[in-house]
């Protein structure tokens, strides 16, 4: 349960300004924390920190590892400060675009820097902190580093195309590959160590300034991931280690054939027999990384939709009961306090509501959903809020506030919006009115995407669900950051008792 009244900003790390292609854990992140403190904000919400891949358009919700960090977030500037690079080695930096993330170019540029940093590390003698990190995280790091090395060795092929003995994780074959790829494995462990150090330092900086980080856990994992390769027994796979069913959502008014996500589905019966050990580890890892964490598609713990593998659409899927209360009771025995935020958007069924009530998890409400025909009764309108929830103007999956008004809201929606706020406003004022509604609501926490603080239009949208191009690339430019209205935000925060 969220105990105190506060507010914050949603901005993923990759959306921060940086001269190196994507936002990272470097100086701009610290300046952003300073700006949050100046604006009297108490939360910084980010998207998943897991590695991303070209094959999934660098979506942070489709990762090859549920436990590792994205090494693209390592700051070159901080590597210089830490003594792993010389400043001269950062030059010449390519002319990366400021307004969008250039993942491929950033990865290419960083690879040269990472190689130089690793070589310096290799020749610097024993590092007790590195060895301690490897020992403490070996339960996930060993498999992850081997998986990364094998991916490189087999030229990026999916793990189910590797030789049979490696695909099936035969002990002798894995021992041989660990010896063959020892240096590549150690390099990946070094990069995970650096990412952990940089993120921990940034977290401490947040904590010292009274700012809590809200993270994000995607409910499912990618098939081509270390998680499925290393733990096939917890997924619904056939004898050839291929999914028998995959995740999705059924047809609705937005999609005639439903959404076919394609992720492997958990074998909850097998997980229950193991005491939900893999998920308990995932929760423990998230508690190391974040102060609170949102679980995406929370409904799947109550019931989830699975589609026969090989189907071209999600039309033939079925609903299956999830683990329900048993799962969270088992977690509570291992982690008495786990600060979960439930992404309960969409159909909030009685089973989902029962889980929220039983464990006192805060849910989410979205103001952009509030001004349709059922405005009086919708749970997204402030007059229907309860205290224990997080109110958003929108999330990474929504248009910006201004973009919603200019491109999506009907004339009737706009009229209801004007009536609700008591006056008509122009498009360039809509974001401030929605932020004011969020701030003045009874919700204990409200989160505003940085795009809505800046009043940006649809071009600044982060993600278009069910599409595979043009997503996850928006970045705040240095000029936008410099001109952001944090003093206005501070005044509104103090006025509404959130400061």
**Which residues, 6 or more positions from 181, have their beta carbon under 8 angstroms from its beta carbon?**
146, 149, 150, 153
Task: Name the active-site residue from 143, 216, 227, 343.
Answer: 343
- Given a contact cutoff of 8 angstroms between Cβ atoms, the answer to whether 205 and 30 are in contact is yes
Most distant CA pair in the chain, distance: 72
Within 10 angstroms of residue 358's Cβ, the number of other Cβ atoms is: 12
Q: Whole-angstrom Cα distance, residue 151 to residue 155?
A: 6
Structure tokens at 9: 């900003």
Structure tokens at 381: 């309108």
Q: Where are the alpha helices (DSSP H) in 246-349?
A: 268-273, 277-289, 325-334
Q: Is 397 a catalytic residue?
A: yes
In 49-78, which positions are buried (b, 16+ CB within 10 angstroms) versus exposed (e)? bbbbbeebbbbbbbbbbbbbbbbbbbbbbb
Q: Is 34 a catalytic residue?
A: no
Q: Whole-angstrom Cα distance, residue 363 to residue 342?
A: 5
Q: Whole-angstrom Cα distance, residue 73 to residue 196?
A: 10
Specify which residues 364 forms β-bridges with. 390
- The alpha-carbon radius of gyration of the chain (Å, integer) is 23
As a whole number of Å, the end-to-end CA separation of the chain is: 19
In 174-210, which positions are buried (b, 16+ CB within 10 angstroms) versus exposed (e)? beebeeebeebbbbbbbbbbbbbbbbeebbeebeeee
Q: Whole-angstrom Cα distance, residue 393 to residue 434?
A: 6
Q: Where are the alpha helices (DSSP H) in 255-373?
A: 268-273, 277-289, 325-334, 350-359
Closest of 371, 345, 368, 369 to residue 356, by C-alpha: 345
Q: Sheet holding 43-45: strands in order across?
A: 340-342, 292-295, 212-217, 43-45, 6-10, 445-449, 389-392, 363-366
Q: Is 343 a catalytic residue?
A: yes
Task: Name the active-site residue from 82, 303, 325, 397.
Answer: 397
Task: Name the active-site residue from 24, 37, 188, 296.
Answer: 296
Count each helix (H run) and each strand (E run) in the chain, helices first.
Answer: 18, 12
Q: Whole-angstrom Cα distance, residue 44 to residue 25?
A: 14
Question: Catalytic residue numbers?
Answer: 296, 343, 397
């Amino acid at each position: 349960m969220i105990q105190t009244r506060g507010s914050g900003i949603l901005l993923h790390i990759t959306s921060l300004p940086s001269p190196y292609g994507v936002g990272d854990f470097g100086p701009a992140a610290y300046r952003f924390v300073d700006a949050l403190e100046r604006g009297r904000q108490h939360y910084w919400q980010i998207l998943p920190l897991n590695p991303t891949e070209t094959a999934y358009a660098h979506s942070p919700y489709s990762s090859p590892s549920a436990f590792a960090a994205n090494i693209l977030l390592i700051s070159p500037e901080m590597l210089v400060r830490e003594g792993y690079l010389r400043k001269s080695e950062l030059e010449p930096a390519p002319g990366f675009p400021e307004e969008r993330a250039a993942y491929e170019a950033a990865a290419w540029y960083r690879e040269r820097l990472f190689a130089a940093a690793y070589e310096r590390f290799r020749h610097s003698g024993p590092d007790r902190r590195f060895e301690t990190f490897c020992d403490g995280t070996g339960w996930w790091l060993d498999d992850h580093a081997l998986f990364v090395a094998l991916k490189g060795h087999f030229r990026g092929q999916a793990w189910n195309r590797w030789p049979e003995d490696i695909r099936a994780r035969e002990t002798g074959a894995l021992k041989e590959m660990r010896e063959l790829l020892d240096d590549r494995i150690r390099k990946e462990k070094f990069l995970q160590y650096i990412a952990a150090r940089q993120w921990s330092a940034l977290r401490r900086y947040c904590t010292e300034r009274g700012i809590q980080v809200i993270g994000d856990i995607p409910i499912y994992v990618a098939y081509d991931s270390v998680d499925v390769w290393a733990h096939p027994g917890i997924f619904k796979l056939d004898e050839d280690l291929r999914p028998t069913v995959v995740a999705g959502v059924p047809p609705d008014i937005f999609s005639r054939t439903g959404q076919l996500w394609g992720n492997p589905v958990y074998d909850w019966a097998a997980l229950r027999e193991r005491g939900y050990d893999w998920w308990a580890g995932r929760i423990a890892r998230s508690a190391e990384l974040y102060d609170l964490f949102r679980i995406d598609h929370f409904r799947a713990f109550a019931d989830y939709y699975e589609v026969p593998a090989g189907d071209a659409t999600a039309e033939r899927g079925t609903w299956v009961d999830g683990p329900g209360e048993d799962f969270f009771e088992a977690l509570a025995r291992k982690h008495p306090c786990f600060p979960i935020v439930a992404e309960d958007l969409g159909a909030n069924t009685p089973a989902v509501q029962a889980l929220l009530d039983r464990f006192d998890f805060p849910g989410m409400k979205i103001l952009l959903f509030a001004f349709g025909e059922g405005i009086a009764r919708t749970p997204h309108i402030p007059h229907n809020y309860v205290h224990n929830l997080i109110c958003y103007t929108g999330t990474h999956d929504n248009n910006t506030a201004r973009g919603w008004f200019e491109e999506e809201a009907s004339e009737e929606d706009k009229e209801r919006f004007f009536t609700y706020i008591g006056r008509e406003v122009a498009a360039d004022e809509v974001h401030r009115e929605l932020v004011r509604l969020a701030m003045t609501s009874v919700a204990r926490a409200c989160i505003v995407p940085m795009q809505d603080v800046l009043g940006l239009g649809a071009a600044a949208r982060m993600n278009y669900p069910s599409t595979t191009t043009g997503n996850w690339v928006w970045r705040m430019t240095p000029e936008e950051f410099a001109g952001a209205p944090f003093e206005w935000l501070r005044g509104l925060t103090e006025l509404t008792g959130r400061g």
